[in-house]
Chain A
Amino acid sequence: MQNTVSAEAYVDVRLHVNGTVQALHVDSRVTLLDALRDELALTGTKKGCDQGACGACTVLADGKRVLSCLTLAAQCEGREVTTIEGLAADGRLHPVQEAFIRHDGFQCGYCTPGQIMSAVALLQEGRAGSDEEIREFMSGNLCRCGAYPNIVAAIREVAGRGSE
């Protein structure tokens, strides 16, 4: 495939990821997800369905949660991308990460980075008003292990609503 691809099928893009700027020269077809994992070795963001259905690849773009599998890397020129690797600060886990550990909000862990990125955004959006609201606004993140009750508990705790 490579030697049939013309120069026009490549694109230069500067990705701002977790506070650092990365210059890439990639095939136009490369998604943000593949650029993160394969070009930048940021493998925390997971590839689940790779088709916009499961939420495993959720990252923040300019502070908003999006699916990196349905975003071209080229479209992210100049946008601030935050991945699971960018949440911890000064060697301390993000409160949502700590809560997921405390509440056992995962089993296999594969969907967890996406769940946590989505939960961080959900809290910023003010959508943790009730367990029902948390479930509705986490519905774009599937967990095949079925850790949902503990995920809701973790988010509820960070939202400051304690145990209900």
Chain B
Amino acid sequence: MRPFEYVRTHDMAAAVALVSADPQAEYLAGGTTELDLVLKDGVLEPGRLIDITRLPLRGITCAEDTLHVGALVTMNELAADPTVSERVPFVREALLAGASPQLRNMATIGGNLLQRTRCRYFRDATVPACNKRAPGSGCAAVRGPARMHAILGASEHCIALHASDLCVALVALDTVVEIQGVDGSRSVPLTQFYVLPGDRPDIENVLQHGELITRIRIPLLPVGMRSGYLKVRDRASYEFALTSAAAALLIEDDTIVRARLALGGVGTVPWRALEAEEILHGAPATRRTFRAAAQAALRDPFTVAGTAFKIELAQRTIVRILQEASGVQS
């Protein structure tokens, strides 16, 4: 483990300038990903860690049916927000389904978006083949035992999963990410924030080195639109998803007027199921419709022996959450 310089700053512009000017510098917030990979796994070796936890990026405000959430708000703080419970309850469900109470007190929303994959081959620096860690070296996961891995957006180059629960609900809601760089700020929809691995799995999102997530904007659901988050896992609690689904439905006269659907546990990025949504829009709220949507959502998977079960499991997860959100069982 390489020594690093620890720098604490209360000034956002200074933090962004520091990291932008130093290719060896990285941000440190809740630390639940960063310190794990730096101190324990030795996968990241920053020369400098810039502690941003004292920056004024906290606070949750609501304006014009949009929730503005500071990047340093913790998972537990967001889960406790009354507007979240009332207007986007599946965000709360996803938050509380993730990690443990201790980790949720530490982990920030900005950090949750940027969490690194749990792929064991990526996190084991003694494994030579990992295109995400060492571009061009191959993918050990494709050939070795793999279970907690992705089947959508995956290829022989990389099957590393984006393991966030929260981001599944956020991507379903068309959340927007606010980003600060040295030359100004910009906003990027979460659906365009992540980059599919392709043949460069080391590039995970659109952030340039030094750019900092400052806030996210979560559009609230219309009143009457019901939502839910379902997580299927090997243990009852404190475990990553095998499959998960976030759904929101607005139903009038037994017809689906509006639908939002996203998947977790299956994607190299938090997976918005737009093709499934198209099937749901305007269709009767029946199990038959839900099944058709589920099949559309899992089109063109890339599986290995250990992940092939996820196709059917993910489809059943989708059908179940659509049934729960709609109240339609048959």
Contacts and interface: CB of A to CB of B under 8 A. Distances in A.
A75 B101 contact: no
Contact of B100 (A29, A72, A135, A140): A140
Q: Is the interface of A mostly helix, strand, loop or mixed?
A: mixed
B208 interface: no
Interface string A3-21: 0111011010000000000
Contact of A74 (B51, B101, B103): B51
A29 B39 contact: yes
A64 B4 contact: no
A66 interface: yes
> Quick one: which of B6, B28, B32 has the most chain A CB within 10 A?
B6
B128 to A, nearest CB: 22
A22 interface: no
A122 B36 contact: no
Q: Is the interface of B mostly helix, strand, loop or mixed?
A: mixed
A27 B3 contact: yes
B105 interface: yes
A58 B51 CA distance: 21
B8 to A, nearest CB: 7
Interface in A121-135: 121-122, 125, 127, 135
Interface string A66-91: 11001110110100000000000000
B106 interface: yes
A70 B31 contact: yes
Given A70-B31, A136-B237, A52 B103 contact: yes
Interface string B252-288: 0000000000000000000000000000000000000
20 contacts: A11-B6, A27-B3, A28-B5, A31-B35, A31-B39, A55-B102, A64-B76, A65-B102, A67-B32, A67-B106, A70-B106, A72-B35, A72-B49, A72-B51, A75-B51, A75-B53, A121-B101, A135-B237, A139-B237, A140-B102
Interface of A: 4-6, 8-9, 11, 27-29, 31, 50-52, 55, 58, 64-67, 70-72, 74-75, 77, 118, 121-122, 125, 127, 135-137, 139-141
Interface of B: 1, 3-6, 8, 28, 31-32, 35-36, 39-40, 49, 51, 53, 76, 99-103, 105-106, 236-238
